[in-house]
Structure 1
Amino acid sequence: MLISKKDLVATFPTSSSRLVFILYMAMFIAQGLLVTLSREGGSEYKYNPTTVVLSTEIFKLITSASIFISQNSLKQLITTLKSETSVPLLYFIPAGLYCAYNNLAFLNLQYLTPTTYFMFMQIRLLLTGLIYQILFKRKLSSMQWFSLALLTTGCILHGYNHNNTQTSEESSTAVQSLTFLPLFFILTQVLCSVFGGVYNEYIIKGKGSETDIMIQNIYMYLNSIICNIILLSLKGELSTAFSLESLNSVLQTYVVVLMLNNTFLGIVTSLFLKQLNSIVKAFASALELIFTALLCWPILGIPVRVETMLSILIISAAVILYAKNPLPLKQDSTQLPTDHKYNSPKK
């Protein structure tokens, strides 16, 4: 059962959507690897993760504004920002969720290997389908639900068998660490990912459909910076996050590359949601898992077990099944055109 050219066109109607899909996967895979590499073999980060998250949001804001200005003008940017009222406020919801998601990613990767981390994160697949149906009022077919369920099964398989391959003492420690606090953190991150991603797409294709995508990114990252500052204040880390020591700590090669990668990942994600949808994004996340597992062996020395290979086969089958039964993009009344020309704000 192979994916035909017709299947690919149905899933990715334009060449730009295919490029965005590939870039999204590549950057997301790099994120997990870079976060692990940035620990330099230790279990603790030698830098302030919150400083990295906030700095990255600032980079995203600057990049989005720069792209818009290069395509239009600074005057047009100022005029647009002044004219919008409702859309910027809507972005506080996904911005807050993404703020929690980004900070939890650093915490969860301290407990889990990148492969296991992505395995547990795939619980979001079925939730994405459910939330997508509710917000967009588009019913998924039984075959699409089956492919999502198969995808979820493959993704969870490795995480379940990972504990069974350890010694009793290691297994006891793993069960304790994976069942209680880390499990709570990973489930919280899953919920933030699902609601944040689908609601972000809902804004892009709904209330913000007449607003340029880079302007929407500016709203997102402005609100995200505010949310991160609030989080730092609540944690009592606002002053330490901007201390000379914290700022110097992020000036490491892997950390700088991590921030740059996440900056462009944010831009690519917005284009992904504009040209494709959250369901395809869920399958992209599963494919990231396959490549992360394979790359962790030569780069991080983390072996690929038999159960991991089995889960990869199940995920591959699910991806092929969905590609043959995709949710048609052309039926989405809120789908935007693929060009990025500026849309004047309503007066």
Structure 2
Amino acid sequence: MGVLHSSSLKYMSLGVLVLQTTLLVLTMRYSRTLKEYGPRYLASSAVVSAEVLKIFTCTLLFFKEKDFNLHAVKRLLNEEILSKPMDTMKLIIPAGIYTLQNNLLYVALSNLDAATYQVTYQLKILTTALFSVFMLRKKLSLYQWLSLLLLMAGVTLVQWPTESADVSEHKILSAGSQFVGLIAVLMACVSSGFAGVYFEKILKETEQSLWVRNIQLGLFSFVFGLIGMMIYDGQRVIQSGMFQGYNAITCVVVVLQALGGLLVAVVIKYADNILKGFATSLSIMVSTLISYFLLKDFNPTGVFFLGAVLVIAATFLYSYECKPASSSTTSVV
């Protein structure tokens, strides 16, 4: 009975991972390409809204962890935050990078179709691995290094230009837009790798509740997000308000971005690394099919499919060799 329960939890985890990863990408892409009759929502505003929701959720979970004992919560917050200002200030760096990363994802999905984005964003496996080697002194096996080379080859093929003749103005604009999206997703991969490893290093160095760390991280991210919003979209916020252009799809994107990382962090403990690789592969395939049949913003080529297969194979190979981390809930998005 226990084995059946464990097996059902694993496959439920698989379903949740695939659903969360795919829905976030597709809804974000759809929301950024949807023809609006009014002002389009501000990506910087969505990032700030997501941080507020994340802080609220982590605070609620933290209270639940302490059985809603206000005195215990107040004492712990005083001990872990006010009494350790230097530990708290360490989170400024990952918070700033995560805020940048979240904004870059909107830029990427405004300029790349969901399928190309999904495959290219798997380069975060490479950046995370490299930062783990240099910052955490982690040792990678030969198979893992080979999988990273395979990953780079796959992403290169996905980005390989397929049209050389009949270059019209529309195609030039499209190519320029795709280049902006590619730069954005590459920067997001680098920032994701560094911030993730840095945050893991902090968690390993200090004994503290994951929810407290996430609250601290969220507060700094909120401040950075608010500053960024006022610098880049301040005039539009003053004219039409922070929530201009918000609709049901926008709210779904905000919720998925806010709760996605926390949801995955909780779910991961029931899923092994092979299952995570399988979830990533399924998400890529589902995103590709929906992007082609429903969003109609993607024209698949043989080169793309070859690249996608290499990326999926690299994900499996790396996940197969990678031992489960002792603190699997360190992922933050």
TM range (shorter): 0.7 to 0.9
- 1:319/1:190 CA distance change after superposition, 3 Å: closer
Do the aligned partners of 1:131 and 1:198 also contact (CA within 8 Å) in 2? Answer: yes
Q: Which moved more, 1:261-270 or 1:103-112?
A: 261-270
Q: Which runs of 5+ in 1 are unaligned?
A: 1-12, 339-347
Q: Which moved more, 1:102-111 or 1:274-283?
A: 274-283
Separation in structure 1 between the aligned mates of residue 12 and residue 195 of structure 2, nearest angstrom: 23
Query: Residue 265 of structure 1 aligns with which residue?
Result: 260
Q: Which moved more, 1:168-177 or 1:127-136?
A: 168-177
Q: Say whether residues 1:71 and 2:69 are aligned partners.
A: no
Large movers: runs of 4+ above 4 Å: 13-22, 269-287
Query: Residue 222 of structure 2 aligns with which residue?
Result: 225
Query: Residue 145 of structure 1 aligns with which residue?
Result: 145
- 1:120/1:233 CA distance change after superposition, 3 Å: same
Query: Residue 48 of structure 2 aligns with which residue?
Result: 54
2:205 maps to amino acid: K
Separation in structure 2 between the aligned mates of residue 114 and residue 269 of structure 1, nearest angstrom: 20
Query: Residue 122 of structure 1 aligns with which residue?
Result: 122
Q: How many residues align?
A: 315
TM-score by length of 1: 0.77
TM-score by length of 2: 0.80
RMSD of Structure 2 on Structure 1 (CA): 3.5
Deviation at 1:158, TM superposition (A): 1.9
Q: Deviations over 1:128-171 (max 9, x none)?
A: 2111112221210111111122123223322214x438842255
Map 1:133-212; keep pairs closer than 5 Å: 133-161=133-161, 163-164=162-163, 167-169=166-168, 171-179=171-179, 181-204=180-203, 206-208=204-206, 210-212=207-209
Q: Which moved more, 1:71-80 or 1:25-34?
A: 71-80
Separation in structure 2 between the aligned mates of residue 92 and residue 196 of structure 1, nearest angstrom: 11
* Alignment equivalent of 2:20, drawn from 1, 19, 27: 27
1:151 maps to amino acid: L
Deviation at 1:220, TM superposition (A): 1.3
Separation in structure 1 between the aligned mates of residue 248 and residue 110 of structure 2, nearest angstrom: 19
Q: Does the residue aligned with 2:160 lie in a helix, a strand or coil?
A: helix
Q: Does the residue aligned with 1:126 lie in a helix, a strand or coil?
A: helix
Q: Which runs of 5+ in 2 are unaligned?
A: 1-5
Do the aligned partners of 1:60 and 1:266 also contact (CA within 8 Å) in 2? Answer: no
Separation in structure 2 between the aligned mates of residue 249 and residue 337 of structure 1, nearest angstrom: 37
Query: Residue 3 of structure 2 aligns with which residue?
Result: none
Separation in structure 2 between the aligned mates of residue 81 and residue 40 of structure 1, nearest angstrom: 43
Q: Deviations over 1:4-46 (max 9, x none)?
A: xxxxxxxxx9987776565344312211111122246339971
Q: Does the residue aligned with 1:138 lie in a helix, a strand or coil?
A: coil
Query: Residue 113 of structure 2 aligns with which residue?
Result: 113
